[in-house]
Structure 1
């Protein structure tokens, strides 16, 4: 099925089959060459997000993303489950639409439509990430937002960063707690405490005012 789908769309298409039971070597079949992935590669940022969603994972159709080198992709991710409904993997289809996007912008410019890129650039996805690179990318976004290195974050910002790392599926990767703790400048015990806080009071990662005053009262008694 994988090579058949890729052949239907031609050389601008890539189809990747993932087995999520082995996150660090999830790619088990590839046809086409758009993102440069090979059999045995780990799952991407998108794959880790789907894995983290678990039972709530749903097919995501025709979303735009962008590789670090600027290639614009139209992608579809289809979760795959066993007979009991357990998430096992995903079938991912990526179509390189970079040239089409440039034609769209050129035509829009000629006819006086919206400025090229006015709708915003699609998010960047690392398709061949490692743990350190994925952690650094997400933490760096928070560093830019507050203009401070991660080791200078207050607890509210640190919780927001850990929340985003968790949603991106970083903690599904082997060795994640040590890597994340080192990047944020906290101990493993402190990291586990923050993760517990996010589980018990999810709003704490998006409502900083809860962190210092209200969080203790929201926790479930032991």
Structure 2
């Protein structure tokens, strides 16, 4: 068996039309029209059966411009089996372990699909970040910061926090140069757990609006 694992062949799918307006997240959904699978280096086969609905969105949306958006790049096939594996993980007896296994498989499938080791490491960091988003209070609150004397707002704070955390992860990976997957996984988990432990920062009080001076007579 090849070291990197193997895919069944090219996937076949059809687009699903979202019932809402253009831009509806469901408008990315596709359904597989025949079985597709990936067999990992250990011999485990990860199935994406016909009828599965996938959208390639297990990487958080704020990272699409950095890591890659759904259905692009050499990780496209990996994203299909990963989407299905993540769906199964949500109902597994040990959700965290099942999601971690799915993310490990995604890393292997990215390599098998033609990603470079450096790209596969960043993609793995992206999906691991996605796995813990719901557990981070700073990222799932609708926080916005008012600008002085205006009603405008800065970019969405949670989205920028996700991008900042990913940049920190990327820098840590580049500095450490992990030689094995267990080293990579340990580095990523240590960083994310430190983020989970951070308290929600206190928001500054709203800036006082400046009053216009009356015109001199």
Normalised TM-score (structure 2): 0.30
Give the number of the structure whose residues are more often strand, by fraction. Answer: 1
Q: Which has the higher contact order (CA 8 A, sep 6+)?
A: 1
